[in-house]
């Protein structure tokens, strides 16, 4: 995670936060034991329709445990790439001997609306085995706030 230094533009404060996190190790969420046939499931150019080589895995024989654990270290989910931005404007007014400060904030989360794909389906017996079917983050969101201190 990287935070940029706040920049003051006149009386307007602008700050940004950037997050780039390597993909997590993919976990198999399945009650069915699986067997690795001796090859890596990693592929060089994964797509959401084929995130890893499904031919490297098969269901274990009935009443056996299989030879792979719940995680495959060579198969990772998508990277996290996100930029959040905030703009802040402070207004100061005096009424008699009291100072009233008003702050307006405009915040944007996921500024460039970059989708982050969730982990692929890890159930060996599922029809969508190895397919990414969900998005891990939300789309671009704006939030506005007004704070008055007196």
pLDDT of 137 higher than 70: yes
Q: Who has greater pLDDT, 20 or 1?
A: 20
| Residue whose structure tokens are 């009935």 | 62
CA gap 117, 53 in Å, rounded:
17
Q: Tell me, what's the pLDDT at 102?
A: 92
Each residue's pLDDT tens digit, 42-95: 898 999 999 999 998 888 888 888 888 777 778 888 888 888 999 999 988 888
Mean pLDDT, to the nearest integer, of 96-106? Answer: 91
Q: Tell me, what's the pLDDT at 17?
A: 82
Q: What mean pLDDT is reported for the chain?
A: 84
Output helix, strand, coil percentages for the chain, rounded to the nearest 5: 0, 45, 50
Q: Kindly indicate the confidence band of residue 149, based on its pLDDT and cuts at 50, 70 and 90.
A: very high
CA gap 138, 124 in Å, rounded:
28
Domain boundaries, the chain: 2-149
Going by C-alpha positions, the residue among 111, 80, 113 that lies closest to residue 1 is 80
Q: Tell me, what's the pLDDT at 82?
A: 86
CB 99, CB 83: distance < 8 Å: no
CA gap 18, 85 in Å, rounded:
9
Partner residues linked to 2 by β-bridges: 18
**CA-angle at 83, arms to 81 and 84, nearest 5°:** 145
């Amino acid at each position: 995670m990287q935070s940029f230094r706040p920049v003051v533009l006149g009386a307007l404060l602008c700050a940004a936060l950037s997050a780039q996190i390597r993909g997590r190790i993919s976990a198999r969420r399945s009650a069915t034991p699986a067997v690795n046939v001796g090859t890596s499931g990693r592929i060089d150019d994964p797509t959401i329709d084929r995130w890893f080589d499904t031919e490297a895995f098969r269901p274990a024989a009935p009443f056996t445990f299989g030879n792979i654990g719940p995680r495959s270290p060579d198969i990772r989910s998508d990277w996290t790439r996100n930029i959040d931005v905030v703009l802040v404007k402070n207004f100061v007014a005096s009424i008699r001997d009291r100072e009233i400060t008003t702050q307006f904030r405009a915040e944007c989360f996921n500024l460039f609306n970059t989708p982050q794909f969730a982990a692929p389906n890890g159930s060996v017996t599922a029809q969508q085995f190895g397919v990414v079917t969900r998005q891990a983050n939300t789309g671009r969101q704006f939030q506005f706030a007004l704070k008055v201190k007196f």
